[in-house]
Amino acid sequence: MARYADTLLSDGERIALRTRQHWLSTIVDGRVPWAIFLAAIVLLVLRVQLPGSEAVANVLGYLVLVLLVVSLAMLARLYWSWYAQDYLVTTRRVLKVEGIFNKKSADSSLEKINDAVLEQNLFGRIFGYGDLEILTAAETSVDRYRMLDNAPHFKRVMLDQKHALESDMASMPSPPMRAPVAAAPTVRVMTSEEVSKALGDLAGLRDRGAITADDYEAKKQELLARL
């Protein structure tokens, strides 16, 4: 069965890396349910070890049962949400998908990514997680991947795919250049004497019937425009 993130891929887009948050994020984000679970265990031990009336034991038993059910339900939802995560590096973008039933997706095109800032504390280097902040060409953060599993490898794959995409775009043939538009012919400016002589010649041609009166008027206007 295909995961939800797979349905968001476009034609020809391939997954280079699929990961999610480190499993320790479920402990960091699940402090409350884990605390309730540990409290239930402590109460269970007290109920068994400490002497007391049957009524007190029954109250502690019911309290332990409620705390266990609540904490386990919260932990089950937390781990289901963690399993539903998909952090992808594809041949075109970086894609983050979160949510169990209500899905939330965010992506960044590889050609718009300028760099990624990786932060790893001591525990992150020991257990193999880190925070990755993706930057655009304007040095603006577009997304942050917190407690990302094997964050250095994620960053390397992302930058490798970005380089491959830019190389493919550079090798594409450029569109043909348009032919230059021919410059309009320069009209020579004539002196008044030249115009008068030309008009006299045209009048003679008109009088002999070599050109029509309309042709004479058109040529006359053209000659006058050269003054």
| The domain made up of 1-21+85-170 is a member of CATH 2.30.29.30 | yes
Q: Say whether pTM exceeds 0.85.
A: no
- Determine the residue type at 47: R
pLDDT score of 49? 80
| Residues 19, 90 contacting (CB under 8 angstroms) | no
Question: Percentage of residues in the chain with pLDDT exceeding 70?
Answer: 86
Mean pLDDT of the chain: 86
Domain boundary assignment for the chain: 1-21+85-170, 24-84, 192-224
pLDDT category at 77 given cuts 50, 70, 90 is very high
Quote the CA–CA distance of 127 and 117 in Å, as a whole number.
19
pLDDT of residue 220: 80
Please tell me whether residue 5 adopts helix, strand or coil conformation: helix
Count H helices and E strands in the chain, helices first: 7, 7
According to the model, what pLDDT value does residue 164 have?
92
Residue 212 has pLDDT above 80, yes or no: no
Residue 22 has pLDDT above 90, yes or no: yes
Residue 104 pLDDT level (bands cut at 50, 70, 90): very high
Q: Is residue 97 scored above 70 in pLDDT?
A: yes
In this prediction, residues 220-227 reach a mean pLDDT of 75
Tokens of 203: 């009048």
Write down the H helix ranges in the chain: 25-28, 31-49, 54-83, 122-127, 151-170, 192-207, 213-224
Distance CA 121, CA 77 (A): 28
CA distances 8 to 95, 108, 177, Å, are 9, 13, 37
